[in-house]
């Protein structure tokens, strides 16, 4: 992998590929629980194109951001649903 940018995932600094979409980068880091469903199940991206809303995370303090539509940026703070 050529260039990387740093994001802060749940408080930890992580390197992700520059130019990657956030959902893709988070999957690459091994994340499985992007959000928690009404009944407490972990959910992860399904459609990859902004329709299903399963990949929503908190980005720079903004809740419910679709990570599949969000390019990674240097210093981006990302919080996922903790179990």
Partner 1 sequence: MSGRECDVLVVGAGPAGIAAACCAAECGRSVLLADENPACGGQIWRAERSSVAAPAAAAWLARLASSGVEILPGATAFEADGDAGRIRFERDFKTVEVHCRRLILATGARELFLPFPGWTLPGVVGAGGLQALVKGGFPVAGRRVLVAGSGPLLLAAAGLLGRHGANVLGVYEQTSLTDLGRVLLELRTFHKKILEAAGLAVAARGAPLRAGWWVAAAGGAAGDVSEEGARLEWVKLTDGWRQTKVECDLLACGYGLRPSTELAQLIGCRVSAGAVAVDEFQNTTVDGVLAAGEVTGIGGAELSLEEGSVAGYAAADEPERARAHFAARARYRGFAAALERAFALRKELKGAVTAETIVCRCEDVTAGRLGEFRSWKEAKLGSRCGMGACQGRTCGAAAEFLYGWGAESVRPPMVPVRVGTLAGDSDPR
Distance CA 69, CA 83 (A): 24
DSSP 3-state of 23: helix
* Bridge partners for 58 per DSSP: 79
DSSP 3-state of 22: helix
Please, what is the minimum distance in Å from the beta carbon of residue 14 to partner 1?
13
Among 5, 7, 9, 20, binds partner 1 (CB under 8 A): 20
Q: Number of residues in contact with partner 1, rule: CB under 8 A?
A: 43
Residues near partner 1 (CB under 8 A) are 1-2, 16-17, 19-21, 23-25, 27-28, 30-34, 37-54, 56, 61-62, 64, 68-69, 71, 83
């Amino acid at each position: 992998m050529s260039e990387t940018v740093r994001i802060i995932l749940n408080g930890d600094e992580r390197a992700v590929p520059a130019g990657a979409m956030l959902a893709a980068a988070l999957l690459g880091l091994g994340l499985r629980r992007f959000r928690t469903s009404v009944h407490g199940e972990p959910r992860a991206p399904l459609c990859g194109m902004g329709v299903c809303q399963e990949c929503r995370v908190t980005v720079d303090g903004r809740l419910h951001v679709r990570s599949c539509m969000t390019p990674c940026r240097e210093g981006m703070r990302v919080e996922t649903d903790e179990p």
